[in-house]
Amino acid sequence: MPAPVLIAPLGVQTLAHPDGELATARAADALGLTYMHSTQASHAFEQIEAGSKWFQLYWPTDRDVCLSFLQRAKASGYGVLVVTLDTGTLGWRPADLDRGFLPFLKGEGLANYFSDPAFQAKLVKPVEEDPASAVMHWAQMFPNVGLSWDELSFLRENWDGPIVLKGITAVDDAKLAAEHGVDGLVVSNHGGRQVDGAIASLDALPAIAEAVSEQLTVLFDSGVRTGADAAKALALGAKAVLLGRPLLYGLALAGQAGVDHVLRCFLAELDLTLALSGYANHRELNRDSLVRA
For the entire predicted model, the pTM comes to 0.96
Confidence (pLDDT) at 292: 57
DSSP state of 127: T
Nearest to 3 by CA among 202, 194, 162, 231: 231
pLDDT tens series, the chain, 293 aa: 999 999 999 999 999 999 999 999 999 999 999 999 999 999 999 999 999 999 999 999 999 999 999 999 999 999 999 999 999 899 999 999 999 999 999 999 999 999 999 999 999 999 999 999 999 999 999 988 889 999 999 999 999 999 999 999 999 999 999 999 999 999 999 998 889 999 999 999 999 999 999 999 999 999 999 999 999 999 999 999 999 999 999 999 999 999 999 999 999 999 999 999 999 999 999 999 997 54
Confidence (pLDDT) at 193: 87
In sequence order, what E strands does 8-79 have?
34-38, 53-57
Nearest to 245 by CA among 22, 18, 19, 24: 24
Q: List the catalytic residue out of 17, 43, 137, 190.
A: 190
CA distances from 76 to 97, 175, 235, 287 (A): 36, 32, 34, 39
Is 190 labeled as catalytic in the residue annotation? yes
Q: Maximum Cα–Cα distance for the chain, whole Å? A: 63
First-to-final CA distance of the chain = 34
Question: Can you tell me the distance from the alpha carbon of 274 to that of 41, in angstroms, rounded to the nearest whole number?
Answer: 34
Per 3-state DSSP, the chain is made up of helix, strand and coil in percentages (nearest 5) of 45, 10, 40
